[in-house]
Amino acid sequence: MTDHSNTPRKPPQTAPRASATFDEYTLSEIRRAAATGIYDIRGGGAKRKLPHFDDLLFLGASMSRYPLEGYRERCDTSVVLGTRFAKKPIELKIPITIAGMSFGSLSANAKEALGRGASAMGTSTTTGDGGMTNEERGHSTQLVYQYLPSRYGMNPDDLRRADAIEVVVGQGAKPGGGGMLLGQKITERVAKMRTLPVGIDQRSACRHPDWTGPDDLEIKIEELREITDWEKPIYVKVGAARPYYDTALAVKSGADVVVVDGMQGGTAATQEIFIEHVGIPTLAAVRQAVKALQDLGMHRKVQLIVSGGIRNGADVAKALALGADAVAIGTAALVALGDNDPHYAAEYEALGTRAGAYDDWHEGRDPAGITTQDPALMARLDPVAAGRRLANYLAVLTLECQTIARACGKSHVHNLEPEDLVALTIEAAAMANVPLAGTNWIPGSNGTF
């Protein structure tokens, strides 16, 4: 054996250490900004880890509660939206709706597929910035028409063709900001509907042109009711920023339904910095909105729809348990249609990204034919097959939500309650106002805001 004891050794080296502050993504973004001088735009919602529904758990039945039998005992999932003033409330078979996503950001085929999938499951879909297309009206049994700050595509005939109206004040991905639609996606059809020039970048307004606060909103809502003969439910959608006060003000303004969209909520396109740094997580918003409704004696009289990062039946059940009447989905619905599908892996790679991470929806080059206006790409999306996939996905969300509700002994998903929940982290416990698991401790304000 060789004796190495006298061989000089290299001094030990420390391993290269990446900075948690200046991580790989951050460094690449600094380099990109330095090279181009322009900020980054993308679609989707906040990508960083945030307190979310995953931080809550259901307790399920135990000695003091008995569960319901899956195959024999009914667990209802129906929901009625707009019971306050509207002559014709919206009746849904499931508590999951399709959120407003604009024609322009999405292809006509994608809009049609959303309508087909939602209708097959007895739920509603929603228009978006840019107006109502015949494809989506024709294939949506219940269509909510958005009334947005931009007024793109707005006309009174379409208000009357809709089944409900959603006045958009803000979105969770960008509270205080407007949308963006870059020239690449402004085809003749999109331009005509928005009365804009073809091929020129467009920024939607961040606030309504003719009102500055809740008093004006009240007048606007009354105007919309007059135009539609008091038939249609009027929703008010806000991005989660100050949900307690925004919900209270929406109720005071005469809303039938309040939609609260948290910061995980998707957008078609806006500044990355906006998506990641403005607004509050969905989890933090739900209980505040519910509390406002309870304080006004309006919980379950004015319905609450929650959106922003809903992915599975547990998320749906948790939102309902915290007091929402229904949820809305955007991103997950697009994934169900075929967005970011590994089938197009090579094409995503050619775009400098990968399936699962593709978010340059504003560029209009989506290989899956969803966030594009390119006729060749759009033709790849078969609206019938994509609609079927969405319907399947909605069915699974509903079954999962029912499974949890039954395990908690509830004969209607609306009977889920905060008492069925505990939190895994102190943050989630404080935000959702439920106890930390294994304790009876609710950190924070103990139920008051």
Ligand X SMILES: Cc1cc2nc3c(=O)[nH]c(=O)nc-3n(C[C@H](O)[C@H](O)[C@H](O)COP(=O)(O)O)c2cc1C
Which residues contact ligand X by CB under 6 A?
Answer: 43, 45, 99-102, 105-106, 128-129, 146, 168, 171-172, 237, 261, 264-268, 307-310, 329-332, 371
Name the minimum Å distance from CB 31 to ligand X: 28
Name the minimum Å distance from CB 418 to ligand X: 22
Tokens 């105007």 sit on residue: 223
| Rounded Cα distance, 304 and 286, in Å | 9
Nearer to ligand X, 54 or 261 (CB): 261
| Rounded Cα distance, 341 and 111, in Å | 18
Using a 10 angstrom Cβ sphere, with 0-12 exposed, 13-18 middle and 19 or more buried, the burial of residue 25 is: exposed
Name the minimum Å distance from CB 71 to ligand X: 31
DSSP annotation of 106: B
| Rounded Cα distance, 219 and 221, in Å | 5
Name the minimum Å distance from CB 319 to ligand X: 11
Name the minimum Å distance from CB 241 to ligand X: 14
Nearer to ligand X, 102 or 303 (CB): 102
Name the minimum Å distance from CB 130 to ligand X: 7
Nearer to ligand X, 59 or 351 (CB): 351
**Residue number with the smallest Cβ distance to ligand X:** 330
Nearer to ligand X, 51 or 265 (CB): 265
DSSP annotation of 34: H
Name the minimum Å distance from CB 59 to ligand X: 26
Q: What are residue 203's DSSP bridge partners? A: 180
Which residues, other chains included, contact 311 with Cβ-Cβ below 8 Å and sequence gap of 6+?
A: 332
Name the minimum Å distance from CB 449 to ligand X: 23
Nearer to ligand X, 173 or 408 (CB): 173
Name the minimum Å distance from CB 188 to ligand X: 20
Name the minimum Å distance from CB 9 to ligand X: 55
Q: Crossing angle of helices 383-407/313-321, nearest 10°?
A: 50
Q: Crossing angle of helices 243-252/214-227, nearest 10°?
A: 50
**Complete DSSP assignment for 273-317:** HHHHHSS--HHHHHHHHHHHHHHTT-BTTBEEEEESS--SHHHHH
236 closest CA partner among 221, 215, 219, 226: 221
| Rounded Cα distance, 186 and 180, in Å | 11
Nearer to ligand X, 51 or 266 (CB): 266
Nearer to ligand X, 331 or 406 (CB): 331
Nearer to ligand X, 172 or 387 (CB): 172
Contact 82, 256 (CB under 8 A): yes
Phi, psi (5° rounding) for residue 239?
Answer: -80, 140
Cα-based distances in Å from 360 to 46, 144, 182, 372? 14, 27, 11, 11
Angle (nearest 5°) at CA 246 between 234 and 164: 10
Nearer to ligand X, 129 or 135 (CB): 129
Nearer to ligand X, 106 or 408 (CB): 106
| Rounded Cα distance, 313 and 398, in Å | 6
Q: Which two tokens stand for residue 259?
A: 């939609």
SS3 109: helix
Name the minimum Å distance from CB 160 to ligand X: 20
Cα dihedral: 94, 95, 100, 106 (round 10)? -50
Nearer to ligand X, 56 or 316 (CB): 316
| Rounded Cα distance, 54 and 270, in Å | 26
